[in-house]
């Protein structure tokens, strides 16, 4: 995907765009310990985004850290049994099959993905960058990623048909909160996000 895209409306276009696909792992699949109902429904739009963004894509996998900082240690202890099956942390098979050449698959140990070096390398200067966000869970890891990017000044597109959460109210609440920030956040379908970049100015 070219770094510079035609803006959605009158105004400057972003210089660089990156896609982050958050935590679409087997552990959130049907029947899994962290099952997220409806996750299978977002996989086709996610695959389309990965095809379009190619090497500008970063896919994250949440992992437990037994010796993590502060309360992360308690979180890892609560879910320690999941480590008995390392396959829980692998990408869902349809997502793994769609990973494009040059994309990064990165483990993370906190909710947010924004600070990951692989993602920062693809974004560059926040003033001219756009982060396109897909994955799960909308009201947890996606929310943490969104607000960190907003705080850093990056334009963010939340891909509404490529996001899912376990709680419909929480999912809708995050999207409603994001809609209150039109200078910083845009809500778009996968088709819209692929076709047009965030308009700056």
Tell whether the model's pLDDT for residue 119 goes beyond 60: yes
Residue with tokens 């894509």: 57
Task: Establish if 5 belongs to a structural domain.
Answer: no
Let me know if residue 3 belongs to a domain. no
Answer yes or no: is 4 within a domain: no
Taking the CA atoms of residue 156, residue 162, residue 165 and residue 169 in that order, the dihedral angle to the nearest 10 degrees is 80
Contact 155, 131 (CB under 8 A): yes
What pLDDT does 10 receive?
A: 41
Q: Is 108 part of a structural domain of the chain?
A: yes
**9 falls in which pLDDT band (50, 70, 90)?**
very low
Domain that holds residue 134: 12-200
Q: How do residues 96-114 score in pLDDT, each as one tens digit?
A: 999 999 999 999 999 999 9
Mean pLDDT in residue range 144-169:
98
pLDDT grade for 201, boundaries at 50, 70 and 90 = low
Q: What is the pLDDT of residues 25-79, one digit of tens each?
A: 999 999 999 999 999 999 999 999 999 999 999 999 999 999 999 999 999 999 9
Residue 31's Cβ-side half-sphere holds a number of Cα atoms within 13 Å equal to: 0
Domain count, the chain: 1
7 within a domain of the structure (yes/no): no
CATH number, position 48: 3.40.50.850
CB atoms within 10 A of CB 10: 7
């Amino acid at each position: 995907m070219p770094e510079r895209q035609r803006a959605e409306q009158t105004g400057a276009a972003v210089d660089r765009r990156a896609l982050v696909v958050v935590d679409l792992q087997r552990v959130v699949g049907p029947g899994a310990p962290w099952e997220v109902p409806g996750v299978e429904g977002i996989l086709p739009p996610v695959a389309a985004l990965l095809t379009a963004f190619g090497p500008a894509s970063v896919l994250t996998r949440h992992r437990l850290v037994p010796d993590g900082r502060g309360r992360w240690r308690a979180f890892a202890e609560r879910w320690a049994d999941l480590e008995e099956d390392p396959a829980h942390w692998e990408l869902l098979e349809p997502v793994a099959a769609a990973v494009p050449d040059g994309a990064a698959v990165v483990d993370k140990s906190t909710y947010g993905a924004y600070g990951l070096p692989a993602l920062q390398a693809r974004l560059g200067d926040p003033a001219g960058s756009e982060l396109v966000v897909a994955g799960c869970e909308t009201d947890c890891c996606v929310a943490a990623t969104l607000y960190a990017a907003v705080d850093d000044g990056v334009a963010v597109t939340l891909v509404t048909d490529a996001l899912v959460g376990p709680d419909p109210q929480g999912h809708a609440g995050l999207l409603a909160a994001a809609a209150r920030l039109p200078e910083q956040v845009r809500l778009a379908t996968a088709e819209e996000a692929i076709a047009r970049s965030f308009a700056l100015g």
